[in-house]
Structure 1
């Protein structure tokens, strides 16, 4: 199983939309995918109609010595796509992890995912806009990191700090972290500011060629809690996410 961490310290850049659609499109390519909601807000869980206020999810992985993965993994409405959910219980769990003086803190998600690595081809982890202990766990478990970036006045805010943290994790905790790439979201190709902003991003950071164009159907698909790739497969965003997944698969040389 290959694990992809979707992360950016900036909110509103389409992390959850990207996580859901990348995961869904991978299933359409014939792969079995586990989606992990690693944000206490639970937006990814909500987007797949699996969010609960108090149900067990990734919080148990962070706290329990032997998490019951069979109980924590839920089927979604889509074939070959399962999910580990999140809610505000993750906030308490992260606090407990930090206070734990005995057990290692950074590899709990990695160990849990190893229990089910033979059941899935890919794991996609949707992360909070933060560097907390559960996000560090996601980076420790990841083979690849994809960073959605929206072109606006604050495009690069926090980017250098994020990349520095990822580098530290790779050097200290996860030498198996192979690829770290940005990809541009909500792109307007006729907007001069977007053209210039994209050039700056591509010059400064390793960036995927595929840009996810802005499309109004994304908001509608989010409201309906359906992947945009299914809700409106001919929309610009859906087409671009499909191309992005193809580019990613080419980048890694196909599934390991």
Structure 2
């Protein structure tokens, strides 16, 4: 089912680079990157999704198989291709992809002790900073702190954190916060947290309610009001190489990601308004 584009009032006019990250695996990180990117495109944004995980699940989940990955993020980070040469159009209007490659798993060794190796992605993104073309870049990171994650955070304006409604959620989040502080202190002093989105929420499960309450009490308005529910259609969609909004637009998961996209854009609009008032 095609996704209808519905422009959203106050849409972003300048490029915003967001890292979708969590050092804990299985939290819905790649699912959020794919479907938030699709939902942002559906509300009128122009989005580039960068698959920075050697497993390439974001690429596969958008229907971009190995045969279609002529150039990848590996080529970009190694300096063999410019970023725009690696762009692949997806089936979603307004959503493009820089695909992944298994060779990314060895990038840390291949770059060795090269000067500026932590800024390879930042430098590659610089042609997009002129305010034309994309309004959002989403970077899907591997679930670990390695050179790929460091590159993503060094290149980003902010981090969007998917957080599963489970017992050890806050423990994993505290580790990520320490990583963000380290990156701020050494590589990217302007890096901020764009928001925390609760995933795999099950209203029938008292643990989900407890985790939601704990996270909101600790992080307040940083946590999005939108929560992504456990939904069979969300789990099925990657197997068909489709975002859930294309696979089943009317399901609860799709509607949640559309609400999240609007909340992200509204948060960005308020941030820009506050900056304008200060200036």
TM > 0.5 between the two?
A: yes
Structure 2 counterparts to residues 198-237 of structure 1, below 5 A: 198-205=212-219, 206-237=222-253
**2:74 pairs with 1:59:** yes
Pick closer, same or farther for the CA change 1:180–1:81 going to 2, 3 Å.
closer
Once the two structures are TM-superposed, the CA of residue 255 in structure 1 deviates from its matched residue by 9.4
Greater CA deviation, 191-200 or 66-75? 66-75
Residue aligning to 1:92: 106
Residue aligning to 1:5: 19
Greater CA deviation, 36-45 or 165-174? 165-174
**2:124 pairs with 1:112:** yes
Structure 2 counterparts to residues 166-205 of structure 1, below 5 A: 166-205=180-219
Once the two structures are TM-superposed, the CA of residue 78 in structure 1 deviates from its matched residue by 1.8
Q: Is the 2:158–2:192 contact (alpha carbons within 8 Å) kept by the matching residues of 1?
A: yes
More helix by share: 2
Structure 2 counterparts to residues 38-57 of structure 1, below 5 A: 38-52=52-66, 55-57=70-72
Q: Is the 2:43–2:262 contact (alpha carbons within 8 Å) kept by the matching residues of 1?
A: no
Q: Is the 1:24–1:81 contact (alpha carbons within 8 Å) kept by the matching residues of 2?
A: yes
Once the two structures are TM-superposed, the CA of residue 210 in structure 1 deviates from its matched residue by 1.2
Q: Which secondary structure state, in structure 2, belongs to the residue aligned with residue 209 of structure 1?
A: strand
Once the two structures are TM-superposed, the CA of residue 157 in structure 1 deviates from its matched residue by 3.5
Q: Normalising by the residue count of structure 1, what TM-score does the alignment of the two structures yield?
A: 0.92
Q: Is the 1:249–1:255 contact (alpha carbons within 8 Å) kept by the matching residues of 2?
A: no
Once the two structures are TM-superposed, the CA of residue 70 in structure 1 deviates from its matched residue by 3.3
Q: Normalising by the residue count of structure 2, what TM-score does the alignment of the two structures yield?
A: 0.85
Residue aligning to 1:245: 261
- For the residues of structure 1 that align with 2:213 and 2:256, how far apart are their CA atoms? 18
Q: Is the 1:62–1:134 contact (alpha carbons within 8 Å) kept by the matching residues of 2?
A: no
Q: Deviations over 1:156-205 (max 9, x none)?
A: 33321211111221232223323342111010112111111111111223
Q: Deviations over 1:61-87 (max 9, x none)?
A: 2221x6322321111112221111112
Unaligned runs of 5+ in 2: 1-14, 273-279
- For the residues of structure 1 that align with 2:40 and 2:271, how far apart are their CA atoms? 11
- For the residues of structure 2 that align with 1:204 and 1:251, how far apart are their CA atoms? 19
Q: Is the 1:42–1:51 contact (alpha carbons within 8 Å) kept by the matching residues of 2?
A: no
- For the residues of structure 2 that align with 1:169 and 1:52, how far apart are their CA atoms? 32
- For the residues of structure 1 that align with 2:76 and 2:60, how far apart are their CA atoms? 19
**2:151 pairs with 1:137:** yes
How many residue pairs get matched? 253
Greater CA deviation, 10-19 or 176-185? 176-185
**RMSD of Structure 2 on Structure 1 (CA):** 1.9
Q: Which secondary structure state, in structure 2, belongs to the residue aligned with residue 210 of structure 1?
A: strand
- For the residues of structure 2 that align with 1:89 and 1:119, how far apart are their CA atoms? 29
Q: Which secondary structure state, in structure 1, belongs to the residue aligned with residue 169 of structure 2?
A: coil
